[in-house]
Amino acid sequence: MNPDTLQVLQKELTCSICMNYFLDPVTLDCGHSFCRSCLWLYWEGSPSPMCCPNCKHVSEKPNFKTNIQLRNMASLRRQARADSINSSEEICVAHDAANMVFCDAERNLLCWNCSDSPEHMLHNHRPTEWAAVEYRVSLNLMVILQEELRKRMGFLWNMAQEMQNNVKIEASKAESLKEYVALRKVMIRAEYQKIHKFLYEEERLQLDTTERESKEIYQQLEESKIRMTQQTESLREMFRELLEIFQKPDVEMLQDLGTVLERTELVRNQKPQPVNPDLTSWCCNGLLELLNKFRVDNVLSHGTISMCMNLSEDVRGMLFGNGNPNPSGEPQRVRSFATWGTHTFTFGRHYWEVDVPRNLCWVLGVCKDIIKRDTNFIIDFEEASFLFSLKLNGHYYLSTNRPLLVHHVKMPVGKIGVYLDYDKGIVSFHDAGNGSLLCSLATSSFSSPLKPFLCFEAS
């Protein structure tokens, strides 16, 4: 074949990217052909997707079919190269002898004289027939391997493209999430503004109701005081009349006694009833759900034990009256029963519920320590915060030690919830039945571990 024609043919069968004969060639819309793998790698690093490496024309379709004719021609050209190795027409110009030896180092044909020359004597040489057979076998094997590699490269490329698309999808998700998070924050703020408004309105309603109820109770108390004062005067006037009748002669006493006794009976039946000053207990919506997030179970797990309470004079006076003065001036120990648990609180927020006895005086709260002396257990009330029930005029009321006062709320039936915020120095008590607040005690801070406890008098 004419050398110029052979050179043109070789150029047409050569990939302009890898500069080797085509392997799995594809032809773009512009007419230029490249190895599929070379084109993939070129496009991977190219700023313009699916652009022809030669003319920069952009192809509209992403997938191209293999150019079978071009692939077969390239394969034939590689086969022809193998055949040329075994050609006997090659003549050594230097020695005018046939090239019968193939040099592995130089990868070309030599005559026997050239193979023994100092330039090639150290190289590995083989007869051209052997080299041709081995090259054909290698070439066939390479074709098989190249086909397998082509398939795997196609699989890897498709997977890479899929991953690239997934990257775009994930990026789109991230952008969408960013926009949604901003919107979500707006919605959350709007919802909590509704809750804040609702809680504010509920707070105002409870405060207004408390104010209205207190005014009504004040009015009732004033009217009750007036009635009782008038009743007192009527009773004293009747007492004086009875005293005068008692001092009269028997005949006059018998004449006036009937009328006075009727009036006495009428006054006794019209005894004014005392006013109940308890305010309505309001349930704060969502309060119990919030407190239960800090719930601690089995807080008072210790068995009930007979023990003593170190009570100050003012607390002892409220619990048991001032009719029994304590001449020693020392805190008086009161025999009672108590139960406590193994929990000791030194930080954080905690909530627990306790069944309190009915129709008994009791003390519920947290204390600094419970000390065992001899056979007695003594509660140290030095840093205690507690709620207690006391009996006044036949009725039970709730009171606290900090501050020491009676709380005019209805006595809860059943469990009382105790909430401790150690870090803020707050202890609050709640009606576990309806979630209403009984009282809240605030101190500057707690400096010692606190134990929960419940004490109650012997029935």
Say yes or no to pLDDT of 428 above 90.
yes
228: which residues sit within 8 A by CB, 6+ positions away? 272
Task: Report the distance separating Cα 421 and Cα 240, nearest Å.
Answer: 61
Q: Give the model confidence (pLDDT) of 115-160 as tens digits.
A: 778 777 778 777 776 766 666 666 566 566 667 777 787 788 788 8
Instruction: Give the pLDDT confidence score for residue 282 in this predicted structure.
Output: 79
Task: Report the distance separating Cα 62 and Cα 50, nearest Å.
Answer: 7
Radius of gyration of the chain (CA): 53
Residue 85: which region, alpha, beta or left (left: phi > 0; alpha: psi -120 to 50)? alpha
- Comparing CA positions, the residue from 93, 122, 125 lying closest to residue 108 is 125
Instruction: Give the pLDDT confidence score for residue 369 in this predicted structure.
Output: 72
pLDDT confidence tier of residue 422, bands split at 50, 70 and 90: very high
Say yes or no to pLDDT of 312 above 90.
no
Say yes or no to pLDDT of 426 above 80.
yes
Task: Report the distance separating Cα 226 and Cα 331, nearest Å.
Answer: 40
DSSP string over 197-230: HHHHHHHHHHHHHHHHHHHHHHHHHHHHHHHHHH
Instruction: Give the pLDDT confidence score for residue 90 in this predicted structure.
Output: 62
**Beta-strand runs (E) in 381-458:** 385-392, 395-401, 404-407, 415-421, 426-431, 437-442, 451-456
DSSP string over 54-112: TT-PBPS-S---B-HHHHHHHHHHHHHHHHHHT-TT-EETTTTEE--EEETTTTEEE-H
Say yes or no to pLDDT of 337 above 60.
yes
Amino acid at the residue 176:
S
Q: Does 296 or 281 have the greater pLDDT score?
A: 296
- Comparing CA positions, the residue from 128, 125, 142 lying closest to residue 79 is 142
Say yes or no to pLDDT of 85 above 70.
no
Q: Does 439 or 120 have the greater pLDDT score?
A: 439
Domains located in the chain, CATH noted: 3-87+122-169 (3.30.40.10), 88-121 (3.30.160.60), 287-322+330-456 (2.60.120.920)
370 bridge partner residues: 379
Cα 259-265-266 angle, rounded to 5 deg: 90
pLDDT confidence tier of residue 409, bands split at 50, 70 and 90: confident
- Comparing CA positions, the residue from 319, 209, 281, 298 lying closest to residue 432 is 281
267: how many CB neighbours lie within 10 A of its CB?
A: 14
Inter-residue contact 355 to 339 (CB < 8 Å) = no
Instruction: Give the pLDDT confidence score for residue 352 in this predicted structure.
Output: 94
Say yes or no to pLDDT of 396 above 90.
no
C-alpha neighbours within 13 Å on the C-beta side of residue 185: 5
Q: Does 49 or 405 have the greater pLDDT score?
A: 405
Inter-residue contact 40 to 80 (CB < 8 Å) = no
Instruction: Give the pLDDT confidence score for residue 405 in this predicted structure.
Output: 83
Task: Report the distance separating Cα 54 and Cα 27, nearest Å.
Answer: 12
Question: What does the pLDDT average to over 356-385?
Answer: 76
Question: Which of 176-185, 281-290, 370-379 ranks highest by mean pLDDT?
Answer: 176-185
* pTM for this predicted structure: 0.57
Say yes or no to pLDDT of 261 above 60.
yes
Task: Report the distance separating Cα 95 and Cα 98, nearest Å.
Answer: 9
Question: Which of 16-25, 98-107, 273-282, 420-429 ranks highest by mean pLDDT?
Answer: 420-429
Q: Does 162 or 106 have the greater pLDDT score?
A: 162
Lowest mean pLDDT among 93-102, 165-174, 283-292: 93-102
- Write down the mean pLDDT value for the chain: 79
Inter-residue contact 438 to 412 (CB < 8 Å) = yes
Instruction: Give the pLDDT confidence score for residue 331 in this predicted structure.
Output: 45
Question: What does the pLDDT average to over 406-421?
Answer: 88
Question: Which of 179-188, 357-366, 385-394 ranks highest by mean pLDDT?
Answer: 179-188
285: which residues sit within 8 A by CB, 6+ positions away? 198, 199, 202
Instruction: Give the pLDDT confidence score for residue 323 in this predicted structure.
Output: 44
- The β-bridge relationship of strands 125-127 and 101-103 is antiparallel
Lowest mean pLDDT among 105-109, 155-159, 176-180: 105-109
Lowest mean pLDDT among 105-109, 201-205, 219-223, 307-311: 307-311
98: which residues sit within 8 A by CB, 6+ positions away? 88, 90, 91, 92, 111
